[in-house]
Amino acid sequence: MTLVIISMTIGIAVGFLSRGIPAIAKNASRITLFGLFFLLFVMGLKLGASREVLDNLGQIGAKAFIIALFCVMGSVFLVQLAAGFIGRKMKEAGVERQCKGDECP
């Protein structure tokens, strides 16, 4: 946990300070990709070695679908609830001028 926050903070600081040096961001994305694939591979290793996960893959998949669906519904609900407010503010700020005629809400 502490490690996660420290790594991210250092990364953001380095990224922010090195804006305008494309080589740094490019190499960072290489390191990120390498780390990601290695970690995914290890996650696969652990999954494959765990009978508990393999035997319950169907059940985990069903759970996953339900959680994902509720996440999507919750997000859409809250954004839709505030859409009028945010949309109005956007128009006040002089943005969203793409709509024409009767397409305008």
Partner 1 sequence: MTILVIMSVVLGAVLGRWLLPVEYMGQLDSLTTIALCLMLGGIGIELGSQKETWRRLRSLGWRIVLVPFLVAAGSLGGAAVAGLLLGMPLKEASAVGAGFGWYSLSGVLLSQIYSVEAGALAFLTNVMRELIAIVLIPVVAVRLGSLAAVAPGGATTMDTTLPLIARSTDADTTVIAFVNGAALSAMVPVLVPLLISL
Query: Which sign does the torsion angle of CA 82, 83, 89, 95 carry?
Result: positive
Asked whether 70 and 61 are in contact (CB, 8 A), the reply is no
Selected from 23, 41, 101, 102, the binder of partner 1 by CB under 8 A is 41
**Single-letter amino acid, residue 81:** L
Position 96 contacts partner 1 (CB under 8 A): yes
Position 86 contacts partner 1 (CB under 8 A): yes
Tell me the chain's radius of gyration from C-alpha atoms: 22
| Shortest separation between residue 101's beta carbon and partner 1, angstroms | 15
Position 104 contacts partner 1 (CB under 8 A): no
